[in-house]
């Protein structure tokens, strides 16, 4: 190091070739102020017409859910199509499906945070909200699919006068712990991240009510250095806590199946395969939600094409893992030499439910392969359609695993063919009502993009950036 290095020699940094340039995570070099205004306005301006158009049917569907659930509890599980041998059907299919969707949120917020994937900031808030609402939808099913839902509390280890404890060997027991822990930590994590943004909304509030409510939930945030320091530490700790949960919750859900001895369920591949599938479907759902929101709320500068591109790539990767798992299941069934396993997998591909298996394979394995092409990743219509197909495919994956394994097992005299009832279908639609009602309320009243975090990934917030700090006003006009 030379002693005369007291002043910086301007280095002529050559322009990066365009193909190597990364797209910025905030488009058009938007200013901090613009970001705050843009995001806050979503909850400050009157609700747009399309919001009402979506909200009213969602609320009606939620009402239908309440009705269907009351009907089922008051009348019996028989109102669904469940039967012997298919004792679990749409109830558990939908449970696993919603839980899977709930995966992307925590993955984005926790694992990508720890891995310093800065692109997560644009989408993490909405994804976390999606997680929470999806887990709520999921939680309805195991709680209500039982014959006597009013005794659900027996699944919790509550000391009682009879000294009867839950059966700790049962994976359903583990499920209770896994899902409730996951939900709790997800809510905490989401709320933690919201605090600085709630303070922004509080400070901008124009009515007493808003000021009071946002103020209440902002927990007296002032943005002081000490607050930020504690916040960052807590956020890191929660991220660390959530990371194993991302893996555990779906692994344990998969153990509901693999602990049994049913061909098609009894397999060690399930935990990683379920986690990959869950991430796959979770990203599918994030894309499904954000692509329309982004254009309707004009958030193209915050949720950029780069975000979408990255999420498409994650979908492609996890979709391929899922496809690999499907192939491995067949290989192991053949290689094990177990006639029941072999029969089961032949029956999947050639049996009465062949249509469901074909839906699963085409939507989950073939369709994501389109994401190899950059052209298609940039076409929002294509991405939107594929993201929906991914979730259709993942629904069928759960259907294939649950219903197809059960409908033909060891004793052929007990084979059967399952069909859902109208109550099954309406309950499922009802959970969409719950999900979208919650999600629409969320985007209406809470900042759906993490304001403080997004600011941190703008070029101007980087002290090493060429543009330094405060010149952005000259560069970009603040109008939309």
157 binds another protein (CB under 8 A): no
**Residue 160 or 229: which CB sits closer to another protein?**
160
CA-to-CA distance for 312 and 301, rounded, in angstroms?
Answer: 18
**Residue 347 or 460: which CB sits closer to another protein?**
347
* Contact residue for another protein among 180, 211, 260, 379 (CB under 8 A): 260
At closest approach, how far in Å is the CB of 224 from another protein?
Answer: 48
170 binds another protein (CB under 8 A): yes
* Contact residue for another protein among 147, 159, 161, 355 (CB under 8 A): 147
144 binds another protein (CB under 8 A): no
Rounded to 5°, the CA angle 103-456-227 comes to: 90
Q: Which stretch binds another protein (CB under 8 A): 82-90, 218-226, 324-332, 459-467?
A: 82-90
| Cα four-point dihedral sign 151, 153, 156, 160 | negative
Nearest to 377 by CA among 459, 280, 311, 471: 311
426 binds another protein (CB under 8 A): no
CA-to-CA distance for 132 and 161, rounded, in angstroms?
Answer: 35
CA-to-CA distance for 1 and 78, rounded, in angstroms?
Answer: 81
CA-to-CA distance for 130 and 285, rounded, in angstroms?
Answer: 8
163 binds another protein (CB under 8 A): no
355 binds another protein (CB under 8 A): no
469 binds another protein (CB under 8 A): no
At closest approach, how far in Å is the CB of 148 from another protein?
Answer: 4
Nearest to 95 by CA among 278, 328, 286: 278
Cis bond before residue 85 (omega within 30° of 0) = yes
* Contact residue for another protein among 33, 48, 63, 76 (CB under 8 A): 76
Looking at 205-298, list the stretches that DSSP marks H as alpha helix, in order from N- to C-terminal side: 208-218, 225-258, 270-296
Give how many residues touch another protein by CB under 8 A.
57
CA-to-CA distance for 268 and 166, rounded, in angstroms?
Answer: 25
CA-to-CA distance for 477 and 480, rounded, in angstroms?
Answer: 8
At closest approach, how far in Å is the CB of 181 from another protein?
Answer: 16
CB 356 within 8 A of CB 399: yes
88 binds another protein (CB under 8 A): yes
425 binds another protein (CB under 8 A): no
CA-to-CA distance for 63 and 106, rounded, in angstroms?
Answer: 29
CA-to-CA distance for 350 and 334, rounded, in angstroms?
Answer: 15
Distance from chain centroid for Cα 365: 20
Q: Which stretch binds another protein (CB under 8 A): 73-81, 281-289, 386-394, 454-462?
A: 73-81
71 binds another protein (CB under 8 A): yes
Token pair of 56 as six digits: 């009213």
* Contact residue for another protein among 5, 11, 20, 411 (CB under 8 A): 411
**Residue 172 or 328: which CB sits closer to another protein?**
172
81 binds another protein (CB under 8 A): yes
Token pair of 11 as six digits: 């280095």
417 binds another protein (CB under 8 A): yes
400 binds another protein (CB under 8 A): no
Which residues contribute to the site for another protein (CB under 8 A)? 71, 74-79, 81-88, 145-149, 151-152, 154-155, 164-167, 169-173, 176, 256, 259-262, 339, 343, 346-347, 350-352, 406, 408-417
């Amino acid at each position: 190091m030379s002693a005369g290095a007291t002043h910086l020699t301007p280095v002529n940094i050559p322009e990066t070739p365009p193909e190597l340039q990364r797209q910025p995570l905030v488009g058009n070099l938007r200013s901090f102020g613009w970001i705050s205004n843009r995001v806050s306005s979503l909850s400050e301006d009157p609700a747009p017409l399309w919001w009402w158009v979506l909200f009213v049917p969602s609320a009606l569907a939620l009402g239908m859910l309440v009705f269907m659930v009351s009907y089922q509890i008051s009348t019996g599980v028989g109102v669904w199509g469940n039967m012997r041998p298919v004792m679990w059907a749409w109830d558990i299919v939908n449970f696993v499906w919603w839980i899977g969707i709930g995966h992307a949120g925590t993955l984005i917020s926790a694992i990508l945070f720890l891995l310093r994937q800065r692109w997560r900031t644009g989408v993490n808030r909405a994804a976390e909200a999606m997680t929470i609402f999806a887990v709520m939808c999921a939680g309805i099913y195991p709680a209500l699919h039982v014959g006597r839902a009013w005794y659900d509390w027996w699944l919790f280890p509550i000391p009682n006068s009879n000294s009867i404890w839950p059966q700790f060997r049962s994976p359903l027991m583990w499920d209770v712990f896994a899902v409730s822990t996951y939900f709790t930590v997800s809510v905490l994590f989401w709320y933690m991240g919201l605090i600085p943004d709630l303070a922004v909304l509080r400070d901008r509030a124009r009515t007493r009510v808003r000021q009071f409510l946002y103020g209440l939930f902002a927990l007296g945030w002032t943005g002081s250095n000490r607050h930020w320091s504690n916040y960052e530490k807590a956020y890191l700790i929660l991220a660390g806590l959530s990371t194993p949960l991302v893996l555990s919750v779906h692994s344990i859900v998969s153990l509901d199946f693999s602990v049994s001895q049913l061909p098609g369920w009894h397999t060690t591949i399930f935990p990683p395969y379920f986690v990959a599938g869950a991430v796959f479907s979770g990203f599918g759902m994030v894309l499904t939600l954000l692509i329309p929101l982004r254009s309707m709320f004009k958030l193209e500068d915050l949720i950029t094409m780069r975000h979408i591109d990255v999420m498409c790539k994650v979908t492609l990767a996890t979709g391929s893992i899922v496809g690999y798992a499907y192939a491995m299941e067949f290989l192991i069934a053949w290689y094990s030499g177990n006639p029941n396993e072999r029969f089961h997998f032949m029956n999947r591909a050639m049996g009465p439910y062949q249509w469901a298996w074909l839906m699963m394979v085409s939507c989950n394995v073939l369709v994501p392969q389109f994401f190899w092409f950059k052209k298609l990743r940039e076409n929002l219509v294509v991405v939107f359609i594929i993201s929906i197909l991914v979730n259709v495919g993942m629904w069928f994956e759960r259907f294939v695993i649950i219903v197809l394994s059960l409908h033909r097992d060891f004793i052929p005299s007990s084979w059967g063919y399952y069909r859902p009832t109208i109550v099954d279908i309406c309950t499922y639609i009802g959970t969409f009502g719950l999900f979208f009602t919650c999600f629409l309320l969320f985007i209406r009243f809470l900042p759906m993009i993490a304001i403080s975090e997004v600011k941190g990934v703008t070029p101007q917030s980087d002290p090493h950036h060429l543009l330094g700090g405060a010149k952005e006003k000259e560069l970009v006009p603040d109008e939309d």
